[in-house]
Every structure is written in structure tokens, then in C-alpha cells.
Structure 1
Amino acid sequence: MSQQLTSEQLVEIADRFGTPLYVYHAEKIKEQYEKLTAAFEGCNARFFYACKALTNINILKYVKSIGCNVDCSSLNEVLLAVRAGFESNRILYTSNNVAFCEIEGAKEQGVHINIDSLSNLKKFGEKFSDTYPVGIRVRPNIMAGGNLKISTGHSKSKFGIPLENIDSVLQIVKDTNLRIRTLHIHTGSEIKDVEVFAKGIEVLFDIAKFFPHLEVIDLGGGFKVPYKPGEKGTDIQALGKKVAEEFNLFEKLYGKKVEVWFEPGKFIVSEAGYLITQVNVLKQSGETLFAGVNSGLNHLIRPMFYGSHHEIKNISNASGPEKEYTVVGNICETDTFAEDRMLNEVSEGDYLAFYNAGAYGIEMASHYNSRFKPQEILVIDGEAKLIRKKDVLEDLLMNQVEVL
């Protein structure tokens, strides 16, 4: 049975801690991870939680406790993973247009490294030669993802080494004796079509013959999460079956087994998260009825940034008659969360809960308009625990140096 916190539970948490606040459900995170391990039990798969989705140290510790590894997009994320207790062989770092010193910092931590540019690959090979095997991120020239802003594998993307530059990669390997152990791609987010992953597999299998030390094929992440009622996500079972078939063929073709790695972020934590807000004002403007809440793009920027949809429920009046509302924030910008949305009748003071808010919510939050960030709560074994305390005014001044 799918894990979900009830409206009553969310209201109780909001009453206890105040709003706005993010709430995460630990058992839902575990459920999502176990869906993956079950679907891919037919192949030699490892999963690395893409922690850019949500890096609260408690979430990292919990992810570690259920057996999942961690994927990092910065050296600081690597250091947070180390602090959370992950062993180095359970940490993956994929660089993205970074200074070479950051890659060196990751190397000092002993973690798995994927390099995304010829420049840094050459520097790494010249400095470390065959002493530290690495991976390369390839840009496969595949268009995929919910929209252009979250598509990362197409021919104009900044990510990865273009597939057409593979000869240059091979020259660097030859010149420096560098060992390539991983071929990596990540084509985008919100990928529903299993065939997109199949295309990526085809690209990597085609160049695998050039890398005799290959041990891992990394297909990235991007699994589709359902946001609307009736919407379907990636068919994980079908994908697991397809990957198992393809990698069995790879073993027959090349006479060797390789591991397949995935880096799910949103898939693991999105459905486990809720943003709870409170209605400040109701404002009728012509035919539009605004419900203005005590949050904004400073807390959840995704709807404004790339048009993401979040279900919104009036958890204070879950069975009332429905009316149409436009839900907006309190920031001095246009921060519309939802237009013309049917909600159970809203009164000032009601709690509105945003669903699927576990990924890229608090991570993209800011102090814009000098407003405080939300608190964070983790519900584990039925108990709500504070994992990020309330901001105070001094937090807005942190690291500022007063010279006047």
C-alpha cells in the first residue's frame, strides 16, 4: 500500500510547528527506493540518490540507512555525504563545468568521479594517469525530458562531452594512460518513455568497445513522477525488464559483465514531501478569486521556474464544496502557484498543502524579500521531528560584514 500522510496528520503538524513548513515522510522514501530495487533485481544495478533534490543531513542519513548510495553534483554535496556517514565507494560525483580543483577535492575523498569535459579529462589524466579510474559523462544528442529547461542530453546542452568528440577522449586516454571505468549519460528529467533509456543504452554500448577497463554503464536518472490525478510515471517494471535484457546481450557481445547505475533524485523524495502553507487573504478581482498564502517563489520556485504542477489541497476543509481559486504567494514578484484551481472552499487561516514537494523545494529556496525559509519536518515511525529550525533575523545577516 502506498505511503501517504493524511490531511489530519498534516494539520496536526502545522498546528504544532507553524507554517510555512516542509514535511517529509521517511517511509515513503523507503517505499520508492524499494520499488527500484525490486524492478531491477534482474540485473546488476546500483542506485545513487541524486541529493541535489534534497540535501538535509537527516535525509542523507536516512537514505544511507535504507541501503541507497548517493550521487553528488558539487564538492560540498560530497562533503555532506561524507558527514552523513557514506563510505567513499558509495558516493558518486559528477562534475559539471567546474574548476579542476573541485575534481581534485573529490578525488581526495576517494569517491567515484565522472568528468564532463575534455579539458578536465586531460588535466586529470596528466596528473593521475592510471592511478585513479574515472568515468566520462557523454552527451548522447538525445532530446528527452518534460521541457527544454530540464532536458540535458540534446545537441545544444551544456552537459557532458559531445558524442562526436569521442576520438578526442580516446586520444587523451592514449596519451595519459587514463583508465575509463564508467560511461555515463543523463538525458533529462521527467522521462516517461522507456525507449529513451533504450536509446541511451544503444549509444553507450556502441562506444563501449573502445574502453577495455569498462566496469560501469551509468544511465543517470530522470524517472517521471506523476503530478496530476490519473497521470502515469515511468513504468519502472518495464524499464527494469528492458535493462536486464539489454545488459544480458552486452555480456554476450563483449564477454564481460558490467554494472548498471542509476541516479534517481526526484523519484525517491518528491512524493514524500509536502509544503504546508496558510491562507493570509482572499481577494476577489473581477472573475478571479485569489487565495494568497504565506509562502511564495522564495519557498517553491518550480511552478514559476519551469511550469511544474503541484496538487494543492485545502487540508483544513477536506470535504467542503469546491470553488475555483488562483493560489498566489506573498512575494513582491508574480508568484502564481496555480491558476483557476478547484479547491474545497477556502477561508482565511486555512492550511493549503502542496503535494510532490520533496524534490527541489527547500533546495531552491531563498531569503528573497528578506523572508525566512520554511522549517523542515521528518515524519518517521509516526513521529514528527524537527530537522530545520525556524529562521531568526540574525540568519538574514549571517556572513554579512558590517563596515559602515
Structure 2
Amino acid sequence: MQSKDLVHLAQQYGSPLYVYDAEKIKSQYNRLSKAFSKVNKLRINYAMKALSNVAILQLLREMGSGLDTVSIQEVMLGLHAGYEPDKIFYTPNGVSLEEIEEVNAMGVQINIDNLSILEQFGTKYPNVPVCIRINPHVMAGGNANISVGHIDSKFGISVHQLPHLVRIVENTKMNIVGIHMHTGSDILDIEVFLYAAEILFDAAKSFKNLEFLDFGSGFKVPYKKDDIETDIEELGKKLSKRFNAFCTEYGKELTLIFEPGKFLVSEAGFFLAKVNVVKQTTSTVFAGIDSGFNHLIRPMLYGSQHHIENISNPKGKERFYSVVGYICETDTFANNRRISEIKEGDILCFRNAGAYCFSMASNYNSRYKPAEVLWMNGEGHLIRAHETFEDLMKNQIPLPTAVNAE
């Protein structure tokens, strides 16, 4: 997409605004598929927590993607978007047995990540195909909040508890069809990923009737010029060769599953915000925008850096700005960042806004959530309208008049 297209969309739909480039999503999906083309059975399940708009789900469904879900609500959205139940993978954490039973009744693939629920579920439903999430105890990921495979993580069943796990499976005679792991997001070193894969291969040998191995995802995408990213092509060569060799050793052709979220949608997303005020202090020039961490929390939550450009003045002389929001709290998107000269009314564009941006938005300070637009075939398609005051009040219930009068 070009800057002029984004400016036009901001003028057409107002700001703040999320825009997603359909072609970038498609190219990332095809890139991953191509990297693992030497694996006979490959399945890509989009991790919809990254961006769960139904139109995005439909776009990926048309490309052949399955879904990785983490809640019953995400399962319901997937079904609403037209996915068949057998294309939906459900990997919850810390949920009740009752929710898992409810999801099981919908016919989707269940993935269980703790011994207690595994034993309870296996006792009641020994014939249901179940996947098990293993914690490989491998530290990976760009931030402590998104590193989920280390020894202190709440996610998965410790690989050191494998004997206990196997005993539960034998006692309940439950049907284990897959083994799963996810080490974390923003993986820089593919050797770490391959090391964790070997732990998964070893764990898989304890189960005789597997149909698939799920390697999670966590592939890093570039957030700035010359930034490091996961070498998908190199990983494809090395892991495909090792996976095919394992299938031969196992005596059965298994399906290799990935569940990318950020990799598919991050670079496709643009967040557009209008500059409300340019404020000069004794040491800093602030550019205050018509948004805040209620719409884009990642810089405050993870310390992530989103490239910011002034698309209203892309060729202007660069100056140093601190970009801040309108929330009644410190909500800083960038400190002393070089950006083309900013004037009030300009539109700033935040790159890499496709993953974990709108999906983590809130109504903090009673602000409305932004609209979302899908850029496809050279046109913008509104896929979520701006919220209104009616949306804010929809589920609120005022006190009865008589009580209020007292």
C-alpha cells in the first residue's frame, strides 16, 4: 500500500483507523507454505488471537487455512466465519473442564495442557481424539510476557512429567492423536526452535497412534529497517528434512502443523491516527494523537517499537518527536523518534499494526474502539464500523428510577 492510499482511507473513514493489506496476508501465507513444500502433509492454523475480525478469518479460510483458537468464543467466531469444526484447533489455558466439554461438543480438535484436566477428560471421554501440549523448557521469545516454553511458564505439561502423562493415558485408554508445543513469540534463532523440535520428537515416541505434530509458531517479523526476522526458508529446509526423517522412523506419515498469527498479519496492518496537538516543552516536542494505549497497547505492555511515519508529510525534514496519546495516564508510543516534520492535523501511520493491536483494544477512559478496513484489489472495504455511544451503553443497566431518586 502507498501512503496516499492510507491518507485517503483516513479521510474517508476517519481516525483512528486500522487498515489491513489483504495481499500481504496472502503473500505471508504462501511464503510459509512454500518454505515447507517438501513436507507431504502440511497444515497452517491461523492463530486468530492476533487479529480476530471475521473478514480476516474468511480471507484465510479461502486460502485453505485452519484456525488456532484459545477460547470458546474464538471457536464460535471461527464457526461463524464458515470454518468446518475439523479445521479448528482449540488450545486453552487454565479453563474449566466444563468449557472444554462444551467445545468438544462442537466437534473441534481439543488440545489439553495440564495433567488434572487431561485425566478428568480422558476418564469421561476416552474415545475423543485429544492433543497434548508439552512444555519443552526452552526459553524463546522476544519478551518475558510472550516466552511461554520455559520452566516457569504456566503453559503446557512439563516434558519432565512425561512418565506421569503416559500413565494417565494408559489408565484412561484415551485417544492421543497429536503432540503440541509453543516456545514463545519473536524467535530469533532457528537453532533454538530446532532444539525444541527434538524434544517434541522424543516425546512423540511415547505415543503410538499420532496423526500430527504441532510446532506452534512465534516467528519474528521485522519491526524496523534492517531488523532481524526468523529465516523461514532456512527453517523450512532444516525442519522439513528432520520431520520427514522422523516420520520414516515413526513408521507413519504425520501432518506437520504450524499456528502462525503475527507472521501472517503483523506487517499487513497499519494504524492511522490524527495529530491533535504539537506541544513544545523545555526539552521535548510532543505530538499528541487522537488515540492512546486503549487502541495500541503493545509499546506500553511489551516495550515494542512500531515504526511511525508522517504520511501527510512523507518527504518533510526530520525532527525529533515524542508521540503520545490522549489517555489520562502516561501513554507514550515513542520517545525522541525521528519523524518528518509534524503539524496539527497530520496523519501518523504506525507500521506492524496487524497483530495483537486491535485485538487488545479497550474502552479505557470510555473511548470508542476504532474502525477496521481491509485493503483488497485496490479498494478499501469497511470490516468493522467505528463504535458509537450506543455501543458503549449497550450492556449497561442504569439503576431503577426509584432507587436513583433516593
**Structure 2 counterpart of 1:360:** 356
Residue 288, structure 1, aligned to residue 284, structure 2: yes
Give the deviation of 1:334 after TM superposition: 0.7
**Structure 2 counterpart of 1:148:** 144
Distance 1:149 1:95 in 2: 17
Give the deviation of 1:316 after TM superposition: 0.1
Residue 168, structure 1, aligned to residue 164, structure 2: yes
SS at match of 1:271: coil
2:92 pairs, out of 91, 95, 99, with 95
* Equivalence map 1:56-71=2 (5 Å): 56-71=53-68
**Structure 2 counterpart of 1:209:** 205
Give the deviation of 1:214 after TM superposition: 1.1
1:297 pairs, out of 286, 293, 296, with 293
Give the deviation of 1:232 after TM superposition: 2.6
Distance 2:227 2:205 in 1: 39
* Structure 1: gaps of 5 or more residues: none
**Structure 1 counterpart of 2:112:** 115
1:82 pairs, out of 79, 84, 92, with 79
Distance 1:294 1:166 in 2: 51
Q: Render the CA deviation track for 1:344-401: whole Å, top value 9, x for unaligned.
A: 1000000000000011111100000011111111111111111111211121112111
Give the deviation of 1:126 after TM superposition: 0.7
2:123 pairs, out of 105, 109, 126, with 126
**Structure 2 counterpart of 1:104:** 101
Distance 1:253 1:67 in 2: 29
Distance 2:271 2:142 in 1: 22
Give the deviation of 1:105 after TM superposition: 1.6
Instruction: Please give the TM-score of this superposition, normalised by the length of structure 2.
Output: 0.97
Distance 2:341 2:351 in 1: 18
Distance 1:232 1:161 in 2: 31
SS at match of 1:9: helix
Residue 183, structure 1, aligned to residue 179, structure 2: yes
**Structure 2 counterpart of 1:39:** 35
Give the deviation of 1:253 after TM superposition: 2.2
Give the deviation of 1:167 after TM superposition: 1.3
Residue 251, structure 1, aligned to residue 247, structure 2: yes
What is the RMSD computed on CA atoms of the aligned residues?
A: 0.9
SS at match of 2:296: coil
Distance 1:389 1:247 in 2: 44
CA contact (8 A) 2:159 2:203 kept: no
Task: Give percent identity, aligned residues only.
Answer: 52
1:331 pairs, out of 322, 327, 335, with 327
CA contact (8 A) 2:187 2:230 kept: yes
Q: How many residues align?
A: 399
The farther-off stretch of 204-213 and 180-189 is 204-213
Distance 2:154 2:132 in 1: 14
The farther-off stretch of 343-352 and 36-45 is 36-45
The farther-off stretch of 37-46 and 310-319 is 37-46
Give the deviation of 1:248 after TM superposition: 2.1
The AA in structure 1 aligned to 2:225 is: P
2:134 pairs, out of 134, 138, 149, with 138
**Structure 2 counterpart of 1:314:** 310
Distance 2:172 2:184 in 1: 32
SS at match of 2:30: helix
Residue 48, structure 1, aligned to residue 16, structure 2: no
Give the deviation of 1:288 after TM superposition: 0.7
* Structure 2: gaps of 5 or more residues: none
Distance 2:141 2:305 in 1: 15
Instruction: Please give the TM-score of this superposition, normalised by the length of structure 1.
Output: 0.97
SS at match of 2:267: helix
Distance 1:282 1:184 in 2: 49
